[in-house]
Structure 1
Amino acid sequence: MIRLARPGDLPALVDIERAAGSLFRAIGMTAIADDDPGSVAELAVYQVDGRAWVSTGEDDRPVAYLLADVVDGCAHIEQVSVRPECTRRALGRALIETLAGWAGERGLPALTLTTFAEVPWNAPYYERLRFRVLADEEIGDGLRAIRREEAARGLDAWPRVAMIRPL
């Protein structure tokens, strides 16, 4: 089931992020695997504003989540993560479709995100969900700012792209 995140869910989201990040270790991206998963306080901003969704198991505990912003007039996927043992169940896809519905209700024309170009569960996955890589001249000021911040954090040690999916 997908629902808006509740305050009590937030510690589980930190755990999901840590577990999902561990998959990067197997492909030699240990800096990503060891990256700070963020804090409950940071997640609370999204939760309070109604921009955090969770996919839950039968026990109503989160096993995946999505955080969204509005960037350059589009719904922007800030983060989507799934517990490794829960992958290949279309949970990420369902969360993205939930965001697409939210964006449509608000008249937003597209979904955007930034991601690693060559990680199989990143850009190639999003391409299967009808996202496409934005050419440099298509990237708006907001996405450019996100990319600069990512580069400053060292994420550009691996190729990254900005992507869009029109709604």
Structure 2
Amino acid sequence: MRIRPATPADLPLLQDIERAAGEPFRTLGMTEIADDEPPALELLERFRAAGHAWVAEGDEAEGTEGDGDAGRPVAYLIGEPVDGAFHIEQVSVHPDAAHRGVGRTLIEYAADRARDQGLTGLTLTTFTEIPWNAPYYERIGFRPLTDPELTPGLRKIRATEAEHGLDRWPRVCMYRATT
């Protein structure tokens, strides 16, 4: 697997990955999440132009979506610095490439880039009761943040999520040091 910066040509493919990655939420009764539109191309471009959008390329041996996927994105991660840490806005893996460590590899790559930029950790927000969300992130070294630990930037992110109705399901902010 190869991690590389996203290119402008990748951005529509990232939307396709996001749509596919949302489908498993449907089986949990979270149809609003499954049907949610992926990030707009303009937003993806903003992350890409800032150098904060990376893709994991497919490998012919992975069997993702048939033949000819070598070099094609099968997962992506976008984020940005927030209050001294790198906040992972989204990490999505196409279901055909799931359970192979692709998401974890993208997160490690982001951690390395954050460390290089002098950022102290990674943050993210996620659903607490979805197996591939908070329980997964805890297994790879993230910990839930208590309310007093939330920075002003994380509070703003959580407020925006609440405005979009994401608090219909339990959510949490999580942190992992980059050192």
Same fold (TM over 0.5): yes
Of 93, 96, 104, the residue aligned with 1:93 is 104
State the 1:102 CA deviation: 0.3
| Unaligned segments of structure 2, at least 5 residues | 60-69
Q: TM-score, normalised by structure 1?
A: 0.98
**Separation in 2 of the partners of 1:104 and 1:48?**
20
State the 1:39 CA deviation: 1.6
Identify the residue that residue 117 of structure 1 maps to in structure 2.
128
Identify the residue that residue 30 of structure 1 maps to in structure 2.
31
What secondary structure does 2:90 align onto?
strand
**Separation in 1 of the partners of 2:44 and 2:118?**
25
Identify the residue that residue 157 of structure 1 maps to in structure 2.
168
Mapping for residues 1-167 of structure 1, pairs under 5 Å: 1-58=2-59, 59-167=70-178
State the 1:41 CA deviation: 1.5
Amino acid of the residue matched to residue 20 of structure 1?
A
What secondary structure does 2:27 align onto?
helix
| Unaligned segments of structure 1, at least 5 residues | none
- How many residues are treated as equivalent by the alignment? 167
Amino acid of the residue matched to residue 21 of structure 1?
G
Q: TM-score, normalised by structure 2?
A: 0.92
**Separation in 1 of the partners of 2:167 and 2:83?**
22
Amino acid of the residue matched to residue 29 of structure 1?
M
**Separation in 1 of the partners of 2:110 and 2:4?**
11
**Separation in 2 of the partners of 1:39 and 1:132?**
30
State the 1:97 CA deviation: 0.2
State the 1:74 CA deviation: 0.3
What does the per-residue CA deviation read over 1:68-118, in whole Å, with 9 as the maximum and x for residues that have no partner? Answer: 111111001000000011100100000000001001101111100000011
What does the per-residue CA deviation read over 1:19-64, in whole Å, with 9 as the maximum and x for residues that have no partner? Answer: 0011100111001001111221210111111100000013211000
Amino acid of the residue matched to residue 17 of structure 1?
E
Identity percentage over the alignment?
57
**Separation in 1 of the partners of 2:37 and 2:161?**
13
**Separation in 2 of the partners of 1:116 and 1:72?**
22
State the 1:162 CA deviation: 0.2
**Separation in 2 of the partners of 1:41 and 1:70?**
19
